[in-house]
């Protein structure tokens, strides 16, 4: 069956200041490694073609471009970033009526590449494929993976020559806080207003102007971060250029899921100060929203009133985060309507887990069974907590729907990448299949935490 993508592009209709038009750079030997049939069907895409998803052929109706944006990276403002190794092919409207971007990641250099080669190697491509699809199965808003294609060309990194690959990423959009920042920083108020109007129309049609947009994005980000926390996910690079207006998770670089619960756990090899540690993620989300507010304030003539309104919206976000966190963690221990009175019970369990190095996922998955106490060395302390918890009459069915049995553990991902580099896609296929049903135990060996010699202490940016 020949490939058909029902493009319905809108971003390409914006002024040229928002992007640079260019085609992907062809590769030598495109080979399809993974194709997401279910997602393709949702998008109305029929057929598949490695040459298209490697960037060798531009499909009919596409409007290829690299998007412009800026961003704070580890707290430092970079006035121009942009898609340095990605090309937005265009947009489709999925079966739910939502507009979705189709983007090639690793598709060659662009004017925003900043001395980079614009390519990606196989490891980060497969990592993003696996983790983004796992997040979708966990019902957490996320970009998704449509295809992974081998290029047949080497990519040179510090490790030497590595096999090249291209990921096809699908997202509600690639609008970021940094997209607003670039125009606000340059004083391009006309473009900033156009962008705000576009973001409202595309994502938040009920929002009342720029402040309504800010309020909607803050609420979406609060829900997103609480969802991350509830599954032990650490994004790793919560820069403003990785923070979406849609409220989706995007850019799976040095991300990971915790094994043993540790509030200060960091996986990114470049996060030396722990800025994006697990427990810091709510605070950083608020900081990112303050940067969006700073950009949007430029749209108002009465700056003092705008500052007052934006400050109130951003200052309300910590409470939004707390409410979302309590609802999600309450569900993890079987509470349908948790209140602030239940929070100490949740925090006590997390403290016990941290003290004993209990596995985050397996502890919650085992609650209500005899094996739960096996996660702890101080079993008497856990038994005392469990006795008080049982008095709340927890909803076991709610817990089963909330607590995953399996997550994409870092050691499994690294082993999958190593096998794929050697030409064996079996571990990738096994892992992807198991992660598609995270609330059911279908492959028990994949649920196992790493042995001491399997622990992966850090992950690296997907370059």
Instruction: Enumerate helices (H) and strands (E) in the chain, giving the number of each.
Output: 15, 12
8 Å CB contact between 363 and 375:
yes
Report the DSSP pairing between strands 65-67 and 71-73.
unpaired
Put residue 435 in one of left, alpha, beta given phi > 0 → left and psi -120 to 50 → alpha.
Answer: alpha
Distance from C-alpha of 442 to C-alpha of 432, rounded to nearest angstrom: 12
Put residue 61 in one of left, alpha, beta given phi > 0 → left and psi -120 to 50 → alpha.
Answer: left
8 Å CB contact between 106 and 119:
yes
With both helix axes pointing from N to C terminus, report the angle between 426-435 and 410-421 in degrees, rounded to the nearest 10.
Answer: 150
Q: Give me the sign of the Cα torsion angle 335, 338, 341, 344.
A: positive
E strand residue ranges, 94-234:
99-105, 120-121, 144-157, 160-171, 233-234
| Catalytic residue annotation | 241
């Amino acid at each position: 069956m020949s490939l058909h993508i029902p493009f319905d592009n809108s971003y390409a209709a914006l002024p040229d200041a928002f992007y640079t038009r260019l085609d992907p750079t062809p590769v030598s030997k495109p080979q399809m490694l993974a194709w997401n049939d279910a997602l393709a069907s949702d998008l109305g895409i029929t057929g598949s073609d490695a040459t298209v998803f490697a960037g060798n052929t531009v499909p009919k109706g596409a409007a290829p471009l690299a998007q412009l944006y800026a961003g704070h990276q580890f707290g430092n403002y970079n006035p121009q970033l942009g898609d340095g190794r990605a090309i937005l092919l265009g947009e489709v409207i999925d079966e739910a009526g939502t507009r979705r971007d189709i983007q090639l990641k690793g598709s060659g250099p662009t004017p925003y590449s900043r001395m980079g080669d614009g390519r990606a190697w196989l490891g980060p491509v497969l990592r993003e494929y696996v983790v983004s699809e796992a997040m979708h199965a966990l019902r957490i808003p996320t970009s998704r993976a449509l295809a992974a294609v081998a290029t047949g060309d080497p990519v040179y990194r510090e490790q030497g020559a590595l096999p090249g690959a291209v990921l096809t990423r699908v997202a509600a959009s690639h609008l970021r806080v940094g997209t607003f920042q670039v125009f606000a920083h340059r004083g391009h108020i006309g473009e900033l207003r156009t962008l705000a109007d576009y973001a409202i129309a595309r994502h938040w049609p009920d929002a009342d102007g720029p402040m309504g947009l800010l309020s909607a994005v803050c609420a979406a980000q609060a829900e997103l971060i609480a969802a991350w926390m509830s599954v032990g996910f650490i994004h790793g690079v919560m820069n403003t250029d990785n923070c979406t207006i849609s409220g989706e998770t995007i850019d799976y670089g040095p991300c990971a899921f915790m094994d043993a619960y540790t509030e200060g756990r960091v996986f990114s090899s470049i996060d030396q100060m722990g800025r994006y540690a697990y427990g810091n993620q709510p605070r950083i989300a608020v900081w990112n929203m303050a940067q969006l507010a700073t950009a949007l304030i430029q749209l108002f003539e009465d700056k003092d009133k705008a500052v007052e309104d934006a400050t109130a919206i951003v200052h309300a976000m910590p409470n939004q985060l707390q409410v979302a966190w309590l609802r999600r963690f309450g569900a993890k221990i079987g509470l349908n309507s948790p209140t602030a009175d239940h929070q100490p019970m949740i925090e006590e369990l997390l403290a016990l887990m941290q003290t004993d190095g209990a596995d985050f996922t397996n502890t919650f998955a085992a609650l209500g069974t005899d094996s739960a106490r096996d996660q702890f060395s101080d079993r008497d302390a856990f038994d005392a907590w469990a006795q008080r918890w049982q008095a709340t009459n927890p909803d076991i069915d709610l817990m089963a729907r909330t607590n995953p049995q399996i997550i994409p553990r870092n050691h499994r991902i690294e082993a999958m990448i190593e096998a794929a580099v050697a030409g064996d896609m079996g571990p990738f296929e096994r892992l992807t299949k198991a992660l598609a049903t995270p609330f059911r135990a279908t492959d028990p060996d994949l649920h196992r935490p790493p042995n001491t010699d399997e622990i992966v202490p850090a992950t690296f940016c997907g370059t």
